[in-house]
Amino acid sequence: RQEVDPLLRQEVEPSLRQEVDPLLRQEVDTLLRQEVDPLLRQEVDPLLWEKVDPLLRQEVDPLLRQEVDPLLRQEVDPLLRQEVDPFLRQEVDPLLRQEVDLLLRQEEVDPLLRQEVDPLLRQEVDPLLRQEEVDTLLRQEVDPLLRQDVDPLLWEKVDPLLRQEVDPLLRQEVDLLLWQEVDPLLRQEVDPLLRQEVDPHLRQEVDPLLRQEVDPLLR
């Protein structure tokens, strides 16, 4: 610009200013800038220009929007919304949903995330995220650690209670054990007093209520 512009301005602009409409000056300036760029490219190292210019053009979004975004939007977005959003909506704060969605929809972040992460997530994680398989994974991964850290005596006592809430097949065994161990104590300590002190007409009403209210909590 220091070498070329003064000459161009001295030789061209006076005549243009006299003959051309002043409104066209802006267009002339842009033309002059386009004519100066080739000179700048010649002065800059051609190797650097070849390496930098295509990268800049790729990062500036025209190519990305034409080649990548349409494909990714059709293939990835619906899967992400169907598979991930339900979990996120249930567990994540609704206010965070909007921020996460905005980040995922950003054109600069999405291509990298979708190309690098999603394929791995689809193959390895998504099939494991089914509700039935998550329960088994949690049992396999967490229980062993708990059994090693917790006192085994405590684990024997606690594990049946936990299993009773999770595994329906074990409810019968646990119920029998709990009934044999706990119910006799309750009958000896509570029922005699109630039978002696409470009106006999109320026995039928009180005993079932006590059994219904106490046993579930103990179980």
Contacts 24+ apart (CB under 8 A), 55-62: 61/107
Count of C-beta atoms within a 10 Å radius of residue 162: 15
Residues 178 and 213 in one domain: yes
pLDDT at 102: 58
Residue 146 lies in a domain: no
Residue 106 lies in a domain: yes
Query: Max alpha carbon distance in the chain (Å)?
Result: 122
Contacts of 13 (CB under 8 A, 6+ apart): 28
Provide the residue range defining the domain that includes 102.
62-129
Residues 50 and 90 in one domain: no
- The distance of Cα 137 from the centroid of its chain, to the nearest Å, equals 20
User: Among 107, 129, 151, where does a domain finish?
Assistant: 129
Residue 148 lies in a domain: no
User: Among 59, 76, 96, where does a domain finish?
Assistant: 59
CA distance 81 to 97: 12
Residue 152 lies in a domain: no
pLDDT digits (tens, 9 = 90+) for 173-208: 545 555 555 544 454 544 444 445 445 555 454 455
Residue 162 lies in a domain: no
Residues 47 and 76 in one domain: no
Lowest mean pLDDT among 7-11, 94-98, 144-148: 144-148
Q: Band the pLDDT of 6: cuts 50, 70, 90.
A: low
CA distance 42 to 102: 43
Count of C-beta atoms within a 10 Å radius of residue 16: 15
SS3 content of the chain, % helix, strand, coil (to 5): 90, 0, 10
Domain total in the chain: 3
Residue 160 lies in a domain: no
CA distance 73 to 70: 5
Quote the pTM value: 0.10
Residue 30 lies in a domain: yes
